Amino acid sequence: MKLNISNITYSTCKYLLLTYTLLSVKNTYAAVTWNTINPNIQFLKQQDKLRFYDSNQVLIEGEKCALLVDTSANFAAVEQLAEDLKKRLKTPLCYLVATHYHDDHLLGMAVMQSFYPDAKLIVHQQVNINFNRYQKEYSDKLDTYEKSIELSYQRLANLPTDEKIKWRGKLELAKKRLFRWREYQLSKPKIIIDNRKTIDLGNFEIVIEPHQAHTSGDLTIMANNGSVLIGGDIVDWLPYPGHGELKSWQALLKQYINNEKITVILPGHGGTLTKEQLKQPLSFLTALTEHVKNNKDQSIEQLMLSFPESVIKPYKQEELNAKSSNFFLQAGLNRAISAE
């Protein structure tokens, strides 16, 4: 069997969503589901079909302050969320937390900061060190939008008249969005995390911890006296390992699985998880490092073909998981090879 390995990169996958966002006239934000975890925590779950392209958010509110964890890569959705928060929040939005630097978690903060300029952005110290890079990524993403609009206008000439009218309306909306987003700026973080930090939101404390796991600069949040874990992409059931610190990531997942206090896990992608379900990503990440270690003479194609079927099988039960797992497997094996 010949294996077809995708050449699509992680960032390219994100741009597919963003181009759709720019040209769509529909309110994609409506598809996000608000789930009440407890009176203080709301879990904003991304629609299933976008779960490997866009992220969840978590809203935490105490008696004095609110805190938002992550933002969508869909800037129009972030604008809608910002407006919606004005209606929902009973307290000021004091903090914004980016769990890591990937664009579907960080770059939308530029939009949120425009609506809530007093909210303090919280990031891992490693993200802060490289922050100028992410400011440039925000500008680069808008440049990509502009090129997409230009190309779409060029294609209008080849469309039937009724299609021209429809697409011209979409492109006019896209231009208005682009001009508006050009006015936003990803402002520098106000709170840098290099050690565990406790924040009191008003009779409701949360604990932010830095890690090197999914990336070299991850943040997690513990709430409700340690019973609720907001783990970002560290705790995704199907984890993207292409930028991961694989061995420390495995150790962290083992720690969570053995933590008796944890009862609810909120991931960066997909629905809520239990500690039992964390055994699957742990198995996947462990198999990546062990498979590469034990088969150093194999090419990446051979490693993918010989990867343990028992580990990858759970991801093959659903079409979207199956497609993403092949891409994630390739990225993870390459990461494990580079770590050897």
Nearest to 101, CA basis, from 184, 10, 179: 10
Mean of the pLDDT values across residues 87-97?
97
CATH topology of domain 10-131+187-232+264-274: Metallo-beta-lactamase; Chain A (3.60.15)
What's the pTM?
0.91
The tens digit of pLDDT for each residue in 249-295 reads 999 999 999 999 999 999 999 999 999 999 999 999 999 999 999 99
CA distances from 27 to 50, 109, 175, 297 (A): 14, 19, 16, 50
Q: Is the pLDDT of residue 200 over 90?
A: yes
Which residue is it, tokens 């390219």?
A: 12
Query: Could you tell me if 96 and 120 are in contact, meaning their C-beta atoms sit under 8 angstroms apart?
Result: yes
C-alpha closest to that of 30 among 96, 63, 72, 77: 77
Q: What is the pLDDT of residues 308-327, one digit of tens each?
A: 999 999 999 888 888 899 99
Query: In the chain, where are the structural domains located?
Result: 10-131+187-232+264-274
Per DSSP, the three-state class of 25 is coil
